Amino acid sequence: MRHDHPDGPTRLVTIHPLIVRLCHWGNALAILLMIGSGWKIYNNAPLFAFTFPAWATLGGSPSPAWHRHGDIGYAGALLWHFAAMWLMFAASAAYLSYGLLSGHFRKTLLPVTPAGVAHDVADALTGRLDHRLGVRNQVQRLLYIAAIAGIILMLLSGLAIWKPVQLQELTALFGGYDTAREIHFFGMCGLVLFLAVHLGLTALVPKVLPPMITGRGYVPLDVLEAESRR
């Protein structure tokens, strides 16, 4: 089906398959739950000289939690954290398996080269970046690769501090318990940064959002042709 569009002739195609959308939103929910509950866990024994604002944390508001559990909401945060980890694990495992086995990663995340990234950064800064649906520039690809690596890092460093005896070899790989805990913290910072950039770019180019919900969108024919040649 052809369609008139400012980007030239387009066709309605599946941009994000169902499995990718399920993994995306599953992980989105899991990451928000992990950050909210993680911040409350952090606040109970801060690594650094600051705490996160209570309104941004998850685990139960202090007063009803105290009434119910005799705890100021810390138990709730732990329950959330170790429940959401399963969602994060399931969504990530499904996404990684699909991405690696189906060729999805190869098609959508590669190639990424320093020259390509530099070129696309320059384009972005001069307002010449191609924002048409179906086009993934190299900065975007690099960002998504970093986010995927970040999630894997969070899962592994999380396991290392959750099980420093049973999985002590993994903990040792992260430089011991205390270092693994710090890596888990800085990994969180990286994911928060990614979230800010990801949401910011979505706000700048909002037409990318509906396809992540419905899966479909009008992709310019020349973009489709370029993709079919890869």
Partner 1 sequence: MSLIKEHGRITLAERPAIRDLERRLFLRQGLSIGALTLLTGCDVTDTDAVDGVLRSISRWNDRVQAWLFNPNKLAPTFAESQIDHNFRFNAFYPESKAPVIDGATWRLQLDGRIADKRPWTLAQLTALPQESQITRHVCVEGWSKIGKWGGVPLGRFLRQVGADTTAKYVGFTCADGYSSSMDMATALHPLTIMALTFADQTLPRKFGYPMKIRVPTKLGFKNPKFITAISVRDDNPGGYWEDRGYNWFSGI
Contact set with partner 1 (CB under 8 A): 36, 41-42, 44-45, 47, 54-61, 63-65, 67-71, 73-76, 78-80, 82-83, 86, 161-166, 168, 172, 177-178, 181
Question: Minimum distance between the CB of residue 176 and partner 1, rounded to whole angstroms?
Answer: 9
Residues 47/181, Cβ–Cβ less than 8 Å: yes
CB closer to partner 1, 36 vs 99: 36
Phi, psi of 121 (to 5 degrees): -65, -45
Question: Minimum distance between the CB of residue 181 and partner 1, rounded to whole angstroms?
Answer: 6
Assign 88 to helix, strand or coil.
helix
Assign 36 to helix, strand or coil.
helix
CB closer to partner 1, 29 vs 124: 29
Assign 18 to helix, strand or coil.
helix
**Residue whose entry in the numeric block shows the structure tokens 């800064």:** 125
CB closer to partner 1, 39 vs 95: 39
Question: Minimum distance between the CB of residue 75 and partner 1, rounded to whole angstroms?
Answer: 3
The answer to whether the bond into 6 is cis (omega within 30° of 0) is: no
CA angle 210, 38, 21 (to 5 degrees): 20
CB closer to partner 1, 72 vs 139: 72
CB closer to partner 1, 144 vs 162: 162
Question: Minimum distance between the CB of residue 161 and partner 1, rounded to whole angstroms?
Answer: 8
Helix (H) / strand (E) containing 209: helix 209-214
Which residues sit opposite 220 in a β-bridge?
10
